[in-house]
Chains A and B, each alone.
Chain A
Amino acid sequence: MRAVPDGRPILVIDDAEVDRAIIRRVLKRSNLRNDIVSVDGGPAALDYIRGAAADVERMPALALLDVNMPGMSGFEVLAELKADEGLRGAFPVAMLTSSDSVIDQQAAADLGADGYIIKQAGITEFVDAINEAFEND
């Protein structure tokens, strides 16, 4: 994926508190310099994004979207973002998930996800995976 511009935040959408905390620390150690906003699910993410629509500064530079979440899955969030003409293409959306299933990767591609990153075990590996996904250095 192309480089993520700084100045605007990265939106992390993950239902697991521990994962949000880990991703925040991984991003801090990566080449991405953005502030981080994290929310615990699809509805909160859509609230944040729609609320930020009027305020360019708050609009995400990138959304990192978990797949397996209760209530509203990451794919449903992605589909809703793609269906909204005002939001479609406003910022890149990458899936950030523990699922290495080919079916999930295909579903992400079909729904128009801009990237698919697998959560790694090991902070170095995790940071590398983030750095490899984006052209920032």
Chain B
Amino acid sequence: MASILALFFWTGQAAPAAYAQESLMDLPLHDMTAFRPTGDNWQIAGDVFADFNRRHHLDVETGTGVLVSLPSEDARENIFTTWEHGDLTLALDFMMPSASNSGIYLQGRYEVQLFDSWGMKDPTFADVGGVYQRWDETRRDSRKGFDGVPPRMNAGRAPGLWQHLEIDFRAPRFDRNGRKVENARFERIELNGVVIHENVELTGPTRAAGFDAETPAGPLMIQGDHGPVALRDIQYKRYGRQSVRLSDVTYRTFEGEFDSLPDLEPLVPVLQGALDGFRHDVVGDLDRFAIVFEGELAIPTTGPYFFDLGLGWIDDDPHFEGDPQGGGLVRVGDHDAVRHEGTSPSAEGTVHLQAGRHPFRVAYFKNQSGRAPVALLTVEGPDTRRRLLNVDTSLPSPPLVGPIHLDYGTHPLLHRHMVGYDEDRRTHVMSVGDPGGVHYTVDLHRGALLQVWRGPFLDATPMWHSRGYHQLALPRGSVARMAGAPELIEAPEGSVTFERYVLDDAGRPVFQYAAQGVEITDRIEPDAENRILRRTLRADGGELRHAVARTAQIERLPDGSYAIDDRSYLIRFDGPAAPVIQPLGEGYELLVPLSDGPVTYSIIW
């Protein structure tokens, strides 16, 4: 278990969550054939642009790939998919124009609200990500609306940006006579990388649902009558009621120090027997061993099947030195589904399988002392959810720790820590939590802005619990990540010296760096509405070029701002500046010359 947790903590990025699905289907958006006939407000577009200052503004370019609703007096219909669904995983990008309103209705009945809630501090059920309330006209006044569930926090972005939503939905269950025996549930909703709901029960259809009665299946509905909205990259997976089942399991355990998976057949097992399923705990006390499980795997539907074998004792610290600690092989029929080479705790693979029963074999070895021999085997099929094949009662309970949260008060809170960044970790880092609820992290070694977010500040548990094995502090809101590379063109990696920061009257830091004999001053502060961060840079003693962004994609938008990274955030220059976009490798960089006159730009997300 320790190692599985460590996997999370080394970079601060979680191992794939149990719900993240491998093989979602694309909803085709080259034309309207995926949808039932609807009003003229709906169209397929190539691109859209929403000026975040203009209410309900949405410009449309012709092309394909984007689904748009522009409601008018005459055309303001909702839209339904041609297909219906029960249990469903849904992932999509959406863009809200300023002040606009829409919603995603699962089975046409249960709404996740889409709304321009940019900067809203205390979101309600009616804000983006809210599970919208139900409505009963027969109730008295304020009681008409009920059972709405607000998101845990406002993870929404500025109007005009693409936002990412993931929903795991469990349909209501009915008995033979059609009587509901179990309510529908949002098992999990994630908005822009933040889990905003888990296990929200739906007692009935929410307000303005497409259908009143609840049934086992219904089409996906997108609200089109409240305001303009754009959606793209709609992906989904519908689940049947059958699951992958493992039966007739036997195992053989071999004691010894193996440094690779041996040919087990000539070996004499120390233990063997029959089991009720895959249970890693059958090795009990053994520390160094090899084990093989054999059985029959029932595959419900022909298609691709994804497997993951996680060997929890394998070190995930890239600095680890020593012999191989483990490895293994998952075989289904004649296919090698997973070859685990032991270089990290988890290995995965996908094989195409016919419906029916297949011989199944999992073998692995452990050559490490001290950590529990926890092996987790995950499977996912074309119409089955990802799940663990381990027998429930064999699973260890994770050690739970009361988190140590850091929150800002009346003054900005400065905090130095480490950050997991891609495969790397940044070790000289400062986060600044502003009383207005707008926060950022800078890499002091590179003089680079790493990330910005709104909402709660930091979770410092990984650096302050017990011996502080992980040294990380994790942002608690929805994070927009910057390139994190050195930002001065004339000063390559390693040549920027962080000199000092000075607190201003409000307690906000002004950072000072030296590079190539030039003094750089960097001030970052929120705007009056606490939605935007405004960054002001100055160079004294020379001229340097500052890379505002380095990314695969930079667009200059009609309003003069720059959209970064497929419109995940915007840069707007707030004073005199002469920015240019230049190609850089496969991508681009947005450069602006710095001298003793300040350059100010806003980061809008």
Instruction: Tell me whether A and B are bound partners.
Output: no
